[in-house]
Structure 1
Amino acid sequence: MSAREKQKTFSEEEAAARLAAELPHWFVEGGWIRRRYRTSSWKGTLMVINAVGHLAEAAWHHPDITASYAWVEVRLMSHDAKGITERDFALARKIEEVIGWQPGLEGGALEGTPTDDLRFAYIKHDKPKA
């Protein structure tokens, strides 16, 4: 589907149901799908913003981002469709995959950021929802 073709928009109820099933840390509010990432410092905040920025530019689908010292909120809505579309869910999944990546849990060659030394902490990973 080209960007010029009409895309299906999801109601807030449809989007909320989809998020509950696919992206449980995301929520719907005010016509956007949203996610707030907690960070340990300004360094972590900037790292999240830059990672989201890279993914959004590569996807050519740009979120609204609000940030403070220890958090970043990402908001997705397809402006051209005037609502939440499949593009928003697709980019949210990719953002979640990249920001939530914890290589130390995979048991491979990459050990991941030390969790016992706060000098290196940057993302406060959410525990999986039951």
Structure 2
Amino acid sequence: MNLQQLHCEAQHGLHPLSEQTRNELLAHLPDWHIDGIELVKTFRFDDYYRTMAFVNAVAWIAHGEDHHPDLSVHYNRAVVRFSTHDAGGLTLNDFICAAKTEALAAK
């Protein structure tokens, strides 16, 4: 499954993924981990400018997918946390956006 090529679904009526499905999808996302009901990764950069450029690009992706992460922005790192709050846990949308974020960081 190529998560980067998928698009998020409307969030109303979504249900959290099973633990097995979450673990299968997590295998496609290096260095991401599940923390409670969030999919999390810390991205590190050389300086504040690069951190902010990344955060702004993540915001652009999130806007296009209508699925927005919680972001913690620091001088040389950004912590990205995806969760589908309306579903009370992780959905496919979270993994799609994480994959798109991962692809962005790889550029």
TM-score between both structures, scaled by the size of structure 2: 0.83
Q: CA separation in 2, counterparts of 1:13 and 1:45?
A: 33
For 1:67, the equivalent position in structure 2 comes to 73
Aligned residues: 99
For residues 24 and 49 of structure 1, do their structure 2 counterparts lie closer, same or farther at Cα, with a shift above 3 Å needed? same
RMSD: 1.7
For 2:42, the equivalent position in structure 1 comes to 36
Greater relative contact order structure (CA < 8 Å, 6+ sep)? 2
Partner of residue 11 from structure 2, selected from 3, 15, 24: 3
Write the mapping of 1:14-53 to structure 2, written as runs, cut at 5 A.
Answer: 14-19=21-26, 21-53=27-59
Q: CA separation in 1, counterparts of 2:58 and 2:46?
A: 17
Question: Which entry has the higher C-alpha Rg, 1 or 2?
Answer: 1
TM-score between both structures, scaled by the size of structure 1: 0.69
Partner of residue 93 from structure 2, selected from 87, 93, 118: 87
Q: Return 5+ residue gaps in structure 2 as ranges.
A: 1-8
Displacement after TM superposition at 1:36 (Å): 0.6
Q: Normalized per residue, which structure has more helix?
A: 2
